[in-house]
Structure 1
């Protein structure tokens, strides 16, 4: 039996989180508590449970707090390294490109630091194993579009992600470093990079996830998620 490949993971944690102010005036967005636990800790626990050991976390706003709180990852059973960015950050793709030397040449998991999802991350590890032998450049988890994004981000047809459609990108994916080939570190968004790969022989696969998912991007959505996950908790 061939040995299972264990990918590295990257958690995107460099955003300013302006819509979560005043919480994010003194906290980096991934440390905002949901049911009394920082958002990013849920990801770290789920990654460790899935067998992942190496995690890269980028940061810009109040990044020193992330490093002080999470440390080297040992308390989660992980090895955490950090990828600092200039003030204001590098946007999503720019941050990934900046961190590529730490991520290596194999497929890696990419998780937005400001989402909550009860997806079993072992599914992502399995997909990373599959991508190693495929010509595809990535795999996206998609969710039914919430009220705040009714137009959707992408479509899904026969397991391939389409440039336009009624589904929303969950902020959870498996990507190959080759997706960013010949790209220099700069302020670059991820969506145009993904759409380019979709146009190029439909090189992005995807799956629809219908379990609990929430983009904790505003105070209102934070309260809504908390009401569902821990209705007896006091507001943090």
Structure 2
């Protein structure tokens, strides 16, 4: 069954992007003629997605007012994360559990993905998949993932330092780009129980990648890698990231405006 639901985590404060984020949430920072969140939603509307849940927190009403409950054919639901001031994205995922009723795409509201990445991810025949990029010197930072001999992701590295992994075969290592396809079975049988455990223990400062790392290590799941290929992406955390995104996507944004 095709994926028709997406969850976007967009509750964070974006402190490293101050003063831009003093009056607008990070996901609504303008890039040329669009915003990060608008760009994500436009891509989802071209990927067969019908329902979108956006987890909001910091300046959440600004997001509500801009996006609304109907957006380019998407039915949008807003979920509140009241812990956004001190918790990490694990808490945002916890507040999204009402949407774990089918296969979903899990995305982050600060990652700018070139058109084409999300349709490939949504249509991947494997039950669980993640979009990944090939390593280059600019991407040698956590998280990283490695592939087993069958070509599936079997390990996530959150503490990357070359000295810690001297025997790691870098030809099998890739950079995840904050976009996942998660099956209903994986969500219900594995991710939700682990998510609830961490949340109830007060481990809300963790990122949800901790859960994926642990479940991979326990052989509870394997992910198919969906390569970005020549398509571009930027995880926008800093002013430098933002400047790179504006420069990198200027041509695609002009193309999207003409459609």
TM-score range (shorter-chain normalised) is 0.7 to 0.9
Q: Which residue of 2 aligns with 1:212?
A: 232
Q: Distance in 1 between matches of 2:119 and 2:57?
A: 29
| Aligned-CA RMSD value | 2.3
Aligned: 1:143 with 2:133? yes
Conserved in 1, the CA contact under 8 Å of 2:120 and 2:226?
no
Matches within 5 A, 1:108-147: 108-120=104-116, 121-127=118-124, 130-131=126-127, 138-145=128-135
Conserved in 1, the CA contact under 8 Å of 2:130 and 2:226?
yes
Q: Which residue of 1 aligns with 2:151?
A: 159
Matches within 5 A, 1:21-170: 21-72=18-69, 74-86=70-82, 87-88=84-85, 90-101=87-98, 103-120=99-116, 121-127=118-124, 130-131=126-127, 138-145=128-135, 149-152=139-142, 153-157=144-148, 158-161=150-153, 162-164=155-157, 166-170=173-177
Cα deviation for residue 219 of structure 1 reads 0.9
SS in 1 for 2:55: strand
Conserved in 1, the CA contact under 8 Å of 2:9 and 2:107?
yes
Q: Which residue of 1 aligns with 2:246?
A: 226
Matches within 5 A, 1:183-198: 183-184=195-196, 185=199, 187=204, 188-198=206-216
Q: Distance in 2 between matches of 1:27 and 1:12?
A: 16
SS in 1 for 2:96: helix
Q: Distance in 2 between matches of 1:100 and 1:81?
A: 13
What are the superposed Cα offsets for residues 60-119 of structure 1, whole Å, 9 maximum, x if unpaired? 1101100010010x2421110011011416422321122111x13222001111111114
Higher mean C-alpha displacement, 185-194 vs 59-68: 185-194
Q: Which residue of 2 aligns with 1:135?
A: none
Conserved in 2, the CA contact under 8 Å of 1:89 and 1:95?
no
Tell me the TM-score normalised to structure 2 length: 0.77
Conserved in 2, the CA contact under 8 Å of 1:124 and 1:173?
yes
Equivalent pairs counted in the alignment come to 220
Tell me the TM-score normalised to structure 1 length: 0.84
Choose the corresponding residue for 2:191, options 180, 198, 220: 180
Cα deviation for residue 202 of structure 1 reads 6.2
Unaligned runs of 5+ residues in structure 2 are 158-169, 254-259
Q: Distance in 2 between matches of 1:195 and 1:75?
A: 34
